[in-house]
């Protein structure tokens, strides 16, 4: 397998080169030269780790089978609190929740970021790359801690995460400010996630900055979903969940499952598109947006317009107006690099672009805060099952999409991460102390408090560092 930029098909890169660089040299995103056609029927009965090894063997083909096996064993083992890694919780014959939050930071980002550090280490060794790696990452809440957890104490890697000040939940903020190792650090930025993402991209494209970082002994890379090493692992849980449904006789191979994905940066839903393109029998892939509904508007009208005010919602990981991975989706639908380059230039200059809706094969809807609360309340009182606000946005989309076949909602985070909204939606009094709130969530769920949550309250917190966007470069050098 080789990779090239979405904006240039001619220059090819090995998997290890694409993973270590993160962003393509021309500012585009790395994509596979071609997506393989796979007979997934032959994989029925395989466990999560076996499917992962088969996918990684295809997409990271310059690594040996032994190296891939070692990475998978480390990435998907006892660090997840369920041996199935991604279990499905069925609430009725039609609907199930794809629980993507059983990793160490209670969010779907763990499925990729428990894998990526080991992949990057292997890529570094494969290329005999001598410099240390400085990973700069923007986060809307979940990527930050997942990257910090994944790379914690990993030799020759340093991680700096930028998160929006007052734009993440109190739990997410605590996660990022509690760290056990000095090679990871989180910094608050005055602004929203788009400001964080824009700032990181500008640093990547600044040659003077890259040269100064190099004099400090580092090469730049990213753990954001712009990195192809983040995207490929996300295809696995869609493949696994479909094959598990077949193995459980919930459907025959070839019958379709519809997928609903709450998303803001388009990476999680793009992984489902890749899986379907490779031959997985998925039916509708439906995008669920919150009140920052730029993506749902785009899929319905063909007009992408980020010129709007960002709304701070109870699902902050989706509070995004410029979705990075949309570029990969557009390339998947129309692999014309010049066309795509012009669209991205238009977006950069005017904040908007328009395409023909005939190119788009996803459906979409959006959910407001009241509907989100209603969904949390309904699922708990009807099925005795707690969901977080992001998952609630996905659940709300079932009726809006008119889905009647077996449907899986991507449950992207644990309700522990969004205590205030969850309790408020259930009409419960919110304790002034976060730990008391956690005890209430545990009582409602009927399960013990996860060990990763208990551990978090035993760690000291860093004092928050707050900077403006023009101070990002200085903040990086202050920390390396």
H helices present in 6-79, as ranges: 15-21, 48-59, 65-75
331 neighbors 359 (Cβ within 8 angstroms): no
Q: Verify whether residue 421 is a known catalytic residue.
A: no
Distances from the Cα of 1 to the Cα of 13, 204, 324, angstroms: 9, 25, 23
- Burial class from Cβ neighbours inside 10 Å (0-12, 13-18, 19+) for residue 232 reads buried
> Nearest 5°: phi and psi at 7?
-110, 5
With CA atoms as reference, report the closest residue to 225 among 124, 111, 330. 111
Alpha-carbon distance 212 to 374, whole Å?
51
> Nearest 5°: phi and psi at 285?
-115, 115
With CA atoms as reference, report the closest residue to 34 among 65, 64, 4. 4
H helices present in 216-315, as ranges: 228-247, 267-277, 294-301
User: At what angle are helices 116-126 and 65-75 packed, to 10 degrees?
Assistant: 150
In the set 109, 124, 173, 341, the catalytic residue is 109
Alpha-carbon distance 445 to 439, whole Å?
10
With CA atoms as reference, report the closest residue to 76 among 161, 150, 141. 150
Catalytic residues: 109
């Amino acid at each position: 397998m080789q990779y090239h930029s979405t904006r240039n098909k001619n220059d090819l890169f090995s998997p290890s080169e694409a993973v270590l660089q993160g962003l393509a040299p021309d500012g585009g995103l790395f994509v596979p030269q071609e997506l393989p056609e796979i007979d997934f029927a032959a994989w029925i009965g395989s466990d999560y780790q076996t499917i992962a090894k088969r996918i990684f063997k295809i997409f990271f083909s310059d690594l040996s089978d032994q190296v891939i096996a070692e990475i998978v064993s480390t990435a998907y083992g006892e660090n997840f609190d369920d041996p199935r890694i991604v279990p499905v919780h069925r609430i009725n014959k039609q609907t199930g929740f794809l629980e993507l939050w059983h990793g160490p930071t209670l969010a779907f980002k763990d499925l990729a970021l428990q894998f990526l550090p080991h992949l990057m280490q292997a890529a570094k060794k494969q290329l005999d790359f001598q410099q240390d790696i400085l990973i700069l990452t923007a986060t809307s809440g979940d990527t930050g801690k997942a990257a910090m957890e994944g790379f914690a104490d990993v030799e020759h890697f340093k991680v700096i995460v930028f998160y929006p000040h007052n734009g993440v939940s109190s739990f997410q903020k605590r996660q990022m400010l509690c760290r056990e190792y000095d090679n990871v650090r989180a910094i608050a930025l005055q602004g929203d996630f788009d400001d964080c993402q824009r700032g990181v991209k500008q640093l990547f494209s600044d040659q003077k900055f890259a040269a100064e970082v190099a004099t400090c002994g580092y090469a730049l890379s990213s753990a954001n979903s712009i990195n192809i090493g983040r995207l490929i692992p996300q295809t696995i849980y869609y493949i696994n969940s479909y094959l598990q449904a077949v193995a459980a006789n919930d459907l025959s191979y070839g019958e379709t499952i519809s997928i609903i994905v709450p998303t803001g940066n388009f990476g999680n839903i793009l992984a489902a598109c890749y899986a379907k393109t490779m031959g997985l029998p998925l039916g509708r892939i439906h995008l669920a947006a919150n009140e920052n509904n730029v993506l749902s508007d785009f899929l319905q009208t063909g007009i992408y317009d980020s010129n709007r005010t960002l709304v701070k919602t109870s699902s902050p990981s989706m509070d995004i107006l410029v979705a990075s991975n949309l570029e990969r989706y557009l390339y998947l639908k129309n692999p014309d690099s010049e066309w795509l380059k012009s669209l991205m230039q238009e977006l950069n200059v005017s904040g908007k672009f328009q395409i023909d809706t005939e190119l788009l094969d996803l459906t979409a809807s959006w959910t407001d805060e009241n509907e989100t609360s209603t969904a949390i309340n309904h699922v708990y009182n009807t099925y005795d099952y707690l969901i977080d606000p992001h998952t609630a946005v996905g659940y709300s989309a079932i009726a809006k999409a008119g889905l009647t076949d077996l449907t899986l909602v991507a449950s992207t985070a644990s309700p522990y991460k969004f205590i205030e909204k969850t309790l408020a939606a259930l009409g419960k009094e919110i304790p002034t102390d976060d730990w008391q709130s956690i005890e209430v969530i545990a009582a409602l769920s009927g399960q013990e408090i996860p060990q990763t949550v208990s551990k978090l309250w035993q760690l000291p917190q860093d004092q928050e560092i707050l900077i403006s966007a023009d101070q990002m470069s200085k903040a990086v050098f202050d920390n390396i």
